[in-house]
Structure 1
Amino acid sequence: MPQSPARTQSTRRLFNIARIPCAHPGCQRLFKNKGALTQHKRAAHQHSFRMPQGRPTAVEEVPDRDAPPSDVGNNRTQNHFIRDYHIELDGRICDEDGNFIDPGAPPPPFTTRRHDDWTPYRSRLEFETAEFLFTKTQMSAGHIDELLHLWGVSLAVHGDDPPFADHVDLHNTIDQTPVGDVPWNRFTINYTGDRDGTDAPWMDGDYEIFYRDPHNVVRNMISTPDFKDTIDYAPYREWEKRPDGTHKRRWRDFMSGDWAWDQADQIAEDPLTHGAAFVPVILGSDKTTVSVATGQNDYHPLYLSIGNVHNSTRRAHRNAVAVVGFLAIPKTAKEYSSDSRYRKFKKQLLHTSLSRILNTLKPAMTTPEVTRCADGHYRRVIYGLGPYIADYEEQVVLAGIVREWCAKCIAHPSDLEHGGELRTRELVDALVEEVDFGTLWDEWGIIGEIVPFTNDFPRADIHELLAPDLLHQVIKGTFKDHLVSWVEQYLEQTHGGRLAKRILDDIDRRIAAAPYFTGLRRFYQGRGFLQWTGDDSKALMKVYLPAIEGYVPPDMVRALRAFLEFCYIARHDIITDDTLKDLENALQRFHKYREIFITSGVRSDFSLPRQHALHHYCMLIRMFGAPNGLCSSITESKHIKAVKEPWRRSNRYNALGQMLLTNQRLDKIAASRADFTARGMLDGPCAISYAKYFERKRARTVSALATELNVPNFPLLLRLFLYDQLYADDTHSAADVPLRNCPSYTGRIDVFNSAVSTFFAPSDASGISGMRREHIRAAPRWRQDSGRYDCVFVNTDNTTDGINEMDIARVLCFFSFPYKKTTYPCALVHWFKVIGTRPDQDTGMWMVRPSFDEEGAREISIIHIDSIFRAAHLLPIFGDQSVPKDITYHNSLDAYRGFYVNKFADHHAFEIAS
């Protein structure tokens, strides 16, 4: 992409950049040469790249990028999926001199170090002790010294010593780690623009930026052996083959999107890049506060990841996101805070800093370099600036636009509902050259003096690169800031202040009455809390819809339902053509039903940037893959490990230097773990782990358990269960035979208070394989309080899909018993019946009620535990009735007779209960 000479950083810079020694206490050791900045210059590439033989020199035209692949090209078929890799930038392996080698060649060994070489540690015990003390427990220096002293006393009688002498010895050992070392550097920027007779303090300040060479960080990341099974080296497109012979496109990880493919097309115009692996550099930044106390309590970290690692890896806190900088936060006296020059200076300072930090990546954005990769092979690698993760306030600065405008398109703030033409670097550059700055501000929302940092790099357009942000645009923005607030405004406007508060109190009681569910955040006082977090908003979304039903018009409930469905669909781990249609349908319904907020007088328009951003989601999914891999929740969660916890470990005085050192040590320990794991040195546990036992204080015989549970016919139910396990087939069951033909059991019973369900749920918080573990409780006392008896989905019909193949039941007891050398793990359950033949038209959720026989007794059965799929969450159908004060989350499942099957409990529940 050609650069406009008038719009590059080098020709519009208002700053001087100076490299200086670090003055922060505790930070001197980060820099070589007695505190002077360590410069990491990229060595000139010495390899002679040959033109690949037998490869086309031009990129094939693809008339329809969503069309299934042809039979020629770089296609691979796995099961019922077809994956088409980019034919030029296909990430072929090479030797360390850059010469392509046979695709089947084994990788060279990662290291020549022996399998018993624990350098800088002496043993596995030393490494795991260091990791435990510094990373896991984050023990203070004083407590480390005390622990090691006591450890040493206990070993002295045996003539042995603890792993480390004291905290100094521990820290020195970590600092000597030979892998994962990317030291911190810094530079300063100061203002050199027009003063116009003003001598404001901010004009004379030196603004310090701390950073690590992103080039080295990326090389370390792409070579991490831990990522070898969760990384893509080439852009690809994937299709799923349907039973009717047609195909549907699938978007999942970042490299499956059209943006990576289009970038590869541009790069491949240079024949010397053919065969290279494309590595998109994903950035993210967001200010965070570490304390409300006085002094320096806010920081502006810059994070980096690569688009090659899978979304699940990036979300799983496995060092696929690294902190590479702490940006300056200019401050001035209130007298100068409204000065337009100061405000523009702050914005341009960010861009200048980013351009300077990322500069070491620039040479390899056009000329490939040979890099070791996670699978052990070498590849020619070419970099590019990928998506930027940021909330709306940060997007405004990054895009150089006026607040209340959209950073992705030129829709006017007064009419954001209808969208507008997409912003592009070419459009903005042309407008800056032809239109005066005042007109740019008023009619285009462009701050003409701001030069985006992307203008200094090839193929980079900041407007294109701004990523979708589920957390701030959807969850905290549209849901919490807009819809929840509008519902409260409607109630106050309709019922007046006093009655509205009474209704809101009852809504809070409804929220607080939501039954137990694993992973559900409890709202003991409803949603009336002052400081909202992203997790608070996510948790409230799960239980909010039934809580407002009956107090607001049906269209308001339907608007909330449509919005929640949009959010949950967008959060899918895999998105297909059908998913995009569902997403568009949910958005259209949301736009239709949200009109109730205008007709009721709550709103006069919907020109809100964060709601407007939902218009762009389908396009952004096609570009970047599933949005859950680029959400700012990833960078916000990194705040905890990279900023907040290191700050708490500091002495609070000139804390940043100590925080940088802590981050560097954490990275070294993580790199050591990856190195030791790759060499097979951490296989197996370091100590014995013990199994959990059954509950010894509960009933141990059939008759005793019948009495404990107050289920007199428990022995009968057990006989029926045994018959179905031993003799039943597709046409006969225990219900078809006389009771005398059913086997009897009167022996020992083992009772358990919980069971663990493991299932595939990649859209939720889970391991990188997508497997999730969930505890299901059936305990007479839970956390020293009342009993807890969870509900579950039970597989009862394998001929249909989703909720139609399952029934809902409440677990009354988990137990097991042996019979003829076979142990049967079981659950005693109370069944629920579905109300109606389709979900509720307002909430979109299925309704159920407890099942009773003609005599009013509970319909109870014993089922094999293997028939339980996972936990289910039920929410009471409150209607227009207030919640009695004696009803809480402990007893709401017993108090009500109708329930919604909560499909918003988590994203996996949404997929199976919709």
Structure 2
Amino acid sequence: IGNPAFRNNLRYSPQRAYEDENGETRIFDEMWTGDWWWNMQVSYLSRATIAPVIIASDKTQLSNFSGDKSAWPVYLTIGNIEKSTHRSPSARATVLIGYIPVTKLDCFSELKRKTQGQQIFHDCMKSLLQPLVNAGYSGVKMACADGFVRRVFPILAAYVADHPEQCLAVCCLENRCPRCVVEANKRGRPEFSTPRDSASTLEAMKDAVVGDSEDFTHLGLRPNRPFWEDLPYCDIFSCFTPDLLHQLHKGVFKDHVVKWATKCLEGGADEIDRRFRAMPRGSNLRHFQKGISLISQWTGTEYKNMEKVFLGVLAGPAEPGLIRVVHATLNFIYYAHFESHTLESLRKLDAAWVAFHGNLQYFVDKGVRKDRDNLNIPKLHSMLHYINSIISRGSADGFSTESPERLHIDFAKNAYRATNKRNYLKQMTKWLERQDACFQFSAYLQWTVKGYNSELEGSLEVKEDNEDGVVEDDEDGDEDVGEQAVFLGYSVAKLPAYRNVPITDLINNYGADDIITQLTTFLQNSPLTSRSARAPILTSTLSMYKCVTVRLPPAPQVTSSVTKDVVRARPFVAARGSVPAVAAQFDTVLARESAEEDGIEHPLDGLKVCQVRVIFGLPEDYGSFPHPM
């Protein structure tokens, strides 16, 4: 909270954000826009500065080829910092506070081994978070990034973890929900249950010690002493935030809906692979040239790219019932991914959840699942809690487990590689302390010395490899782009890729069959056309560009920055010697049928799906046309 580098990215009090001037459409995005911080400020600490503590824990494998060496890092950040900052590894807004020991506990009997391992987790977490107890009640004076000294009260507000670790943290069985008391055999139903609360849970644990285990069994608890029992103002059950990676992308979508949809499709996995291979390529879209069944290492990128095309893969042979349930699933995933929510978007998220459950019966009817009670899956049930979590803590993208998994590279895997692989945890700790000291000194120099650039920053950005036949198309980034394009909303290469291309080639190689008719009509109606211009004929030539990059205005639901959309139009290029052939690429776009805006009430009104066949520049003989077409 005192890092001057975060001065413009920090908030010290909750805010109510609205989309309109009348304060009718509320926005939920950053943590300070949610109800939790507001309620905590009003109910307990009205004049204090709260630092909502966000912790994340995730066990990771250190060795791939020999041994079974693992690490269990625990990370910490605060909700005062903008989510885009604490999600960025290079910003170092999320810090490592310790490792939980990973041990087999061979000294215990098999019956006690699991319980003792769970208790070790709680004892270690209690030790790591012990400073929050007194600080949460009494506050600590801290020098903040804006130069003021405030009494800050750090309160545990969010815990980022996957389902097994959530259950471990709240001391409940893994076949139960860590947020509510729904029974194990009712998790597949679209019904709300009573939220868990700390007081009744701790009471049930105490009663179980003296032999009264009725509530203990009903709540599905484990016999552990929880680390959170002494933390001030902490409701650990509501701290668990949506896990977009494991719950939605990997869980609901890949492990369940894709698997069930494959069984419903004639031809099964072979047909799904064939249709993935046949999908057209797109810019910034990975192409599964070997299908999906042979992919051994999945990442969030693969899941997201599958979601973009999966409805298209199913289109045709899939029955309407299958299309409806997949459509509802994807709607829920995309709404859950919004970086900024309003009550309207939350209503649509809820409608997608209702539609998802309303169409799940299709899998039962097809025999993929035995009955509705066979859908008692934790990740399906977790979707029920998304809306309450977003209203309470802010949008889900600020709490994804993708962030700690990315941090494993810097704080676990790279640290392990720097050791001699014996007694590695102590060596990792020493190496990380040195790295942190170097980073802090470098950050200080960067803050004080104008123009200083650290050599450490480049090492923090890791490019994702393409694996298992997953191909990401490039964007023709090697072309020289004119700077003037920044102000025009698009950019093209300064020079065309192909000059003096006859219109006959455009018809034969580009598929622009009606280019003469359309170009003639355009020239007749354009005020820029030269009076001496002749109508285009088959032997007329044009200059061709490979692509155009369109700069789209920021959409707060998706991103706060400008989005680049690359539109390509290039023909098939035959193989030459050792250089392989290049497939033709003609991208699709949404274009307005008319330049007139009369009668347009919705942003999608008047739009038509088109395929771009040529991107060309007109010769000066036709007139003064400053932009490509």
Q: Is the contact between residue 695 and residue 751 of structure 1 (CA under 8 Å) also seen in structure 2?
A: no
The residue matched to 2:193 in structure 1 has which SS? coil
Q: 2:31 aligns with which of 207, 232, 254?
A: 254
State the Cα deviation string for residues 123-179 of structure 1 (Å, max 9, x = none). Answer: xxxxxxxxxxxxxxxxxxxxxxxxxxxxxxxxxxxxxxxxxxxxxxxxxxxxxxxxx
- For 1:234 and 1:744, the matched residues in 2 are separated by 67
Structure 2 letter corresponding to 1:584: D
Deviation at 1:666, TM superposition (A): 4.7
Amino acid across the alignment from 1:432: M
Q: In structure 2, do the counterparts of structure 1 residues 708 and 252 end up closer, same or farther at CA, with 3 Å as the change threshold? A: same
Judged with a 3 Å threshold, the aligned counterparts in structure 2 of structure 1 residues 784 and 368 are, in CA distance, closer, same or farther, namely farther
Residue 154 of structure 2 corresponds to which residue in structure 1? 383
Cα deviation for residue 823 of structure 1 reads 7.2
Q: 2:383 aligns with which of 606, 614, 621?
A: 614
Identity of aligned residues (%): 27
- Paired residue type of 1:808: V
Equivalence for 2:474: none
Cα separation, 2, equivalents of 1:327 and 1:307: 23
1:299 aligned residue: 71
Change (3 A) 1:345 1:713: closer
Q: Is the 8 A contact 2:126 2:228 kept in 1?
A: yes
Partner amino acid, structure 2, of 1:753? K
CA RMSD of aligned residues (A): 3.6
8 Å Cα contact 1:723/1:743 also seen in 2: no
What SS does the corresponding residue of 2:229 show, helix, strand or coil?
helix
Distance, in Å, in 2 between the alignment partners of 1:337 and 1:763 is 52
**Residues 727-766 of structure 1 aligned to structure 2 (within 5 Å):** 751-759=544-552, 760-764=554-558
The letter of the residue matching 2:416 is W
> One-letter code of the match for 2:239?
L
Q: Is the 8 A contact 1:699 1:705 kept in 2?
A: no
The answer for unaligned runs of 5 or more in structure 1 is: 1-221, 492-499, 728-733, 827-861, 863-914
Check 1:744–1:551 CA distance in 2 against 1; reply closer, same or farther (3 A cut).
closer
The alignment partner of 1:586 has SS state of helix
Partners in 2 of 1:726 and 1:696 — Cα distance? 25
1:330 match: 103
Shift of 1:562: 0.7
User: What do the CA deviations read for 1:801-833 (whole angstroms, capped 9, x no partner)?
Assistant: 33325333333344456869977231xxxxxxx
Instruction: Tell me how far apart the structure 1 counterparts of residues 351 and 514 of structure 2 sit (CA, whole Å).
Output: 50
Moved more, 563-572 or 548-557: 548-557
Change in 2 beyond 3 A, CA 1:753/1:431: same
Residues 160 and 399, structure 2, Cα contact 8 Å, conserved in 1: yes
- Aligned-partner Cα distance in 2 for 1:740–1:397: 79
Q: 2:472 — aligned with what?
A: none
- Quote the Cα distance in structure 2 between the aligned partners of 1:490 and 1:741: 63
1:507 equivalent to 2:308? Answer no
CA distance in 1, matches of 2:329, 2:395: 18
2:563 paired residue number: 772
Shift of 1:515: 1.4
Of the three residues 40, 43, 49, the one matched with 1:263 is 40
The AA in structure 1 aligned to 2:627 is: P
2:238 corresponds to 1:238:
no
Q: Distance in 2 between matches of 1:366 and 1:357?
A: 17
Q: One-letter code of the match for 1:756?
A: T
Pairs within 5 Å for 1:717-728 = 726=527
Which of residues 146, 165, 183 in structure 2 aligns to 1:394?
A: 165
Paired amino acid for 2:285: L
User: Gaps spanning 5+ residues in structure 2: where?
Assistant: 456-476, 482-492, 574-579
**1:657, distance to aligned residue in structure 2 (A):** 4.2
Instruction: Tell whether 2:237 aligns with 1:463.
Output: yes
Structure-1 separation of matches of 2:438 and 2:339: 30
**Cα shift readout 1:714-759 (whole Å, capped 9, x = no counterpart):** 68866765777755xxxxxx8xxxx958699999976443333333
Instruction: State whether structure 2 residue 479 is matched by structure 1 residue 700.
Output: no
Alpha-carbon distance, 1:327 to partner? 1.1
**Contact 1:749–1:815 at 8 Å: present in 2 too?**
yes
1:55 aligns to what?
Answer: none
Any idea what SS the aligned residue of 1:236 has? coil
Correspondence list, 1:166-181, <5 A: none
Partner residue in 2 for 1:285: 57
Q: CA deviation at 1:252?
A: 0.8
What residue number does 1:546 align with?
312
The verdict on how the C-alpha distance between 1:822 and 1:315 changes in structure 2, with shifts beyond 3 A counting, is farther
**For each residue in 1:486-518, what CA deviation from the matched residue of structure 2 results, as whole angstroms up to 9, or x when unmatched?**
234445xxxxxxxx5x34312211112221122
Residue aligning to 2:224: 450
Distance change in 2, residues 1:614/1:504 (3 Å): same
Note the C-alpha offset of 1:538.
Answer: 2.2
Q: Displacement of 1:366 after TM fit?
A: 2.5
| Matching residue's letter, 1:640 | I
Residues 723 and 595 from structure 1, CA distance in 2 versus in 1: closer, same or farther, beyond 3 angstroms?
same
Please, what TM-score do these two structures have when normalized by structure 2? 0.81
Whole-Å Cα distance in 2 between the matches of residues 812 and 252 of structure 1?
40
Q: Is the 8 A contact 1:402 1:441 kept in 2?
A: no
Match of 1:599 in 2: 365
Corresponding position of 1:517? 282
Partner of 2:463: none
Shift of 1:670: 4.7
C-alpha contact (below 8 Å) 2:76/2:96 kept by paired residues: yes
- What CA distance in whole angstroms lies between the structure 1 residues aligned with 2:156 and 2:88? 23
Larger gyration radius, structure 1 or structure 2? 1
**Secondary structure in 1 aligned to 2:141?**
strand
Amino acid of the structure 1 residue aligned with 2:78: I
Equivalent in 310, 321, 331 of residue 555 of structure 1? 321
Q: Which residue of 1 aligns with 2:586?
A: 789
2 CA distance for matches of 1:401 and 1:774?
Answer: 46
One-letter code of the match for 1:599?
A: D
822 and 628 in structure 1: CA distance in 2 versus 1, 3 angstrom threshold: farther
In structure 2, the CA distance between the partners of 1:685 and 1:486, relative to structure 1 (3 Å rule), is closer
